Structure 1
Amino acid sequence: MQGADWLIKDFLSVKNVLFFGIGGGGDVVTAAMLALAARREGYRAYIGSVVWERMSVDPVPGPIPIDELVGVHRIGRYSAMVKGSSRALRGGREVAFQASNVAQALNEEVAVVDLSAAAEGVAEGLAELIRELDVEAVVAVDVGGDVLAKGYEDELWSPLADAVGLAALVRARVQVQKVLAVHSIGADGELSPGYILERISTVSSLGGLLGARGITARDVEILERLLEHAHSEASRVQLEAFKGCWGQHVIRAGSREIECSPLQTITFFLDPYITLAVAPLAQAVLFTKSIKEARSILNSMGVYTELDLEEDAYTFMRKHGRLPRGDELRKLREEGRARLLFKALSRYSGHGEYGE
């Protein structure tokens, strides 16, 4: 089967679909690729995402609130439509975020929601967009597969946005069909492809695997056009994999490695409700109202998040005049994880059976 004909008709009985990147950064690039594939099959497909940039684009910690976006058309309290000229005002400078870059590449508006308000904001923002755009289904896109993490994995770097995204998708109080798309597993240099496949198999054993799709030559043409404007190492991995990339490659300023293979060209489509049942991080942040509240909950579970890392990296930048690189970034992360462990042990020693 080719294109998006089977992609939608096999498990979505609708014609109007929002493809929505939940992980921040370049997830919107893959969401756009899938949306354009759907359009080639005659579907009315929209593109959207949360707004959280990588540190190299926006060193100010945390997702970008809707109120810090300029040149946008507000839909509601938690949502807006952005253009290629839209910008974010962050730390006294303008930031061209990836949703606006995709809008520029395609010469069309892209929808965004407010991740800074965590699950409540994203869920309400999705509801606002669904009503405004009259869509009948939401396909939430995660590039890499961290949305399937349990939280204790050593190489889990960015669990927060994905956990909130899955929680919000399930929580959104709208009568539409919902699908979770896990694309290009391991492309972000975090969880290994083998481990993510194991997690997908767990979802599948519960009846939650809806299907899978590989990218096509036409998708690659679209990706190349998008990546002329947008910046996403993880989204670029699928492009390289399609062209024959194999083996270990370094990304993220030398801080991470990926296992490049044809697996990065595949999208797995999952039932989000069944996925939530085996996703403890998303369960934990289901009713959060701010990204800091969500972060605190994951911290209490011993999970060091991308927000923690960004704050530590920002402190490093103010001291050294530049962002940390490679081993420096890994050291910051290990020190941060150690602090969380120390706090957990302190709480245990103070209140457990061995406390004084």
Structure 2
Amino acid sequence: MKRAPVKRLIVAAGGGGDAVAAAMLHTALYAADDEPALILTYSWDRLIIDPVPGPRAPSDFTGLHHLAPHVRAVPVTATPKPPHAATLPRLAAELPHTFALIDPYAGATGITRQLDELTAHFTPQTIDLLDVGGDILAHGDEPTLRSPLADALTLAACTRANATADVRLLVAGPGLDGELPAATLRPRLGSLITTFTPEHTQAIASVLAWHPSEATALLAATALGARGLCEVRDAGLPVPLTAEGPTVHQVDLPGAFAANRLAQAIVDTTTLDEAEERCRTVCGTSEIDYERTKAQRLSEQKQAPAAPHDLLAQIKDFEQAALTRGATHTTVRRLTEALGLTGEALQHLAQLNATRASRLPASVWQLPRR
């Protein structure tokens, strides 16, 4: 038996940041509907939030709800089982949309099955596959590519889905994820669909006060007028903040799949391990391998909490060094990791940043002018 129709299905291509951006996209494109979207997304948070490498499976939670035989929703009452952690339950609490969990442990084949079940049950009028940054358009051999697996899995699944002809591939914020530069992406983009405005960012303003996503925070920041150079991630990758930042482009889905060697290699996979092994073959590594190495390194470090006056001094030293590198902004996540702080400090710094004279999201740290 079919359930009540859902007008908008948005597939968040990568991690939790794409799910947050999906809420902003819904506001920009479908606000007149006055109906929440169904957002299909991974629960895959950075190690500063979730200490366990890789994406979360349904078995890592209690309190999930069945939407379809192989699809579970993550309500506000869902709880990740220790030692796992997840931002999705809090997203469900603060945003009106329904969040359904992508389960990549059955490979691209399993995600395709999830899509087919959702479209059969809910008959959405539109299906958008959304990626912030644009690494879903990677070919697989770009030297700056760092996290291709999640996006390639959803791209492959959407290409195989029964409703593939109805799937619209959208790329928001070209280059804002610090992977493929905007100049590399430009020839791969299609028509401009919309440009986010300050009004659109209000839909996710409360979320960006605590959510660790950098790319989506920069998407909102550029919509609010931020311009300059932002350091992101633990490596301090420089990301230009330009007028191109808040744009959303449509891309030909079959063409993107035909150009993405990793998506082609994993399209028939039935386990995440199999997809990860093919990712190593095509790209030389897997982002889960990187997370495993980093998690091991973090587990061996013992960081004493800094006294408030010491922390302020460390922040000032970091700011001055970043300014000499030409940066105008950084992210709270970058600042937290650069100072060797914990996930608890991430929230403290975001709260501290919220008190500063800035109209930007609390997770984007504007450096003092030189």
Report TM bin, short chain.
0.7 to 0.9
Matches within 5 A, 1:117-128: 117-128=106-117
1:239 equivalent in structure 2:
220
1:298-330: CA deviation from partner (whole Å, max 9, x where unpaired): 2112432211101111221233357995599xx
The aligned counterpart of 1:87 is 79
When structure 1 is superposed on structure 2, of 296-305 and 56-65 the one drifting more is 296-305
What is the alpha-carbon distance in structure 2 between the residues aligned to residue 111 and residue 36 of structure 1? 19
The residue identity in structure 2 corresponding to 1:62 is: G
User: How far has the Cα of 1:253 moved from its partner?
Assistant: 3.1
Residue 100 of structure 1 and its aligned partner are, at CA, apart by 2.4
Deviation at 1:15, TM superposition (A): 8.4
Q: 1:107 to 1:15 in 2, by over 3 A?
A: closer
> Who is 1:58 aligned against?
50
Q: Is the 8 A contact 2:170 2:249 kept in 1?
A: yes
**1:291 maps to what in 2?**
272
1:181 equivalent in structure 2: 170
Are the counterparts in 2 of residues 295 and 305 from structure 1 also a CA contact under 8 Å? yes
2:141 alignment partner, SS class: coil
TM-score (norm. length: structure 1): 0.78
- Change in Cα spacing, 1:302 to 1:141, as seen in structure 2 (3 Å) is closer
Give the conservation status (yes or no) of the 8 Å contact 2:138–2:259: no
**Separation of aligned partners in 2, 1:142 and 1:175:** 17
Measure, in 2, the Cα distance between the counterparts of 1:163 and 1:87: 28
| Alignment match of 1:159 (pick from 133, 148, 151) | 148
Do the aligned partners of residues 273 and 302 (structure 1) sit closer, same or farther apart at CA in structure 2, a change above 3 Å counting? closer
Shift of 1:168: 0.6
The match for 2:350 is none
- Could you say which residue in structure 1 is the equivalent of 2:252? 271
CA RMSD of aligned residues (A): 2.6
Greater CA drift, 71-80 or 265-274: 71-80
- Structure 1 Cα separation of the partners of residues 150 and 274 of structure 2: 13
Please state if 1:138 is matched with 2:132.
no
Q: Retained in 1: the 8 A contact 2:159–2:254?
A: yes
Q: How far 1:139 moved relative to its partner?
A: 0.4
Does 2:191 correspond to 1:199?
A: no
- For residues 94 and 58 of structure 1, do their structure 2 counterparts lie closer, same or farther at Cα, with a shift above 3 Å needed? closer
Give the total of aligned pairs: 304
CA distance in 2, matches of 1:327, 1:217: 31
Q: Deviations over 1:227-283 (max 9, x none)?
A: 235331111101211233223211113442211112110111122122211221211
CA deviation after TM superposition for structure 1 residue 297, in Å: 0.7
CA distance in 1, matches of 2:153, 2:339: 28
Contact 1:16 1:43 in 2 (8 A): no
Q: Which amino acid aligns with 1:85?
A: T
Contact 1:71/1:83, CA 8 A, preserved across alignment: yes
* Equivalent residue, structure 1, for 2:316: none
- Output the amino acid matched with 2:244: L
Partner of 2:288, secondary structure, is: helix
Looking at structure 2, the residues matched to 31 and 39 of structure 1 have their Cα atoms a distance apart, in angstroms, of: 11
> Is 1:22 paired with 2:13?
yes
Question: Do the aligned partners of residues 197 and 96 (structure 1) sit closer, same or farther apart at CA in structure 2, a change above 3 Å counting?
Answer: same
> For residue 215 of structure 1, what is the aligned residue in structure 2?
196
Residue 310 of structure 1 aligns to a residue whose secondary structure is helix
Residue 149 of structure 1 aligns with which residue?
Answer: 138
Range with greater deviation from structure 2 (24-33 or 45-54):
45-54
Structure 1 residues 190 and 108: CA distance shift in structure 2, 3 A:
closer
CA contact (8 A) 1:248 1:260 kept: yes
Q: Please state whether the residue corresponding to 1:95 is helix, strand or coil.
A: coil
Q: Match of 1:179, SS?
A: strand
TM-score with structure 2 setting the length: 0.75
CA contact (8 A) 2:136 2:155 kept: yes
Gapped regions of structure 1 (runs ≥ 5): 1-13, 201-208, 329-356
Task: Write the distance in 2 (CA, Å) between the matches of 1:176 and 1:199.
Answer: 20
Q: Indicate how the Cα distance of structure 1 residues 194 and 243 shifts in structure 2: closer, same or farther if over 3 A, else same.
A: same
More divergent stretch after superposition (264-273 vs 314-323):
314-323
Residue identity matched to 2:177: D
**Amino acid across the alignment from 1:96:** A
Percent of residue pairs bearing the same amino acid type: 28
User: Counterpart of 1:7?
Assistant: none
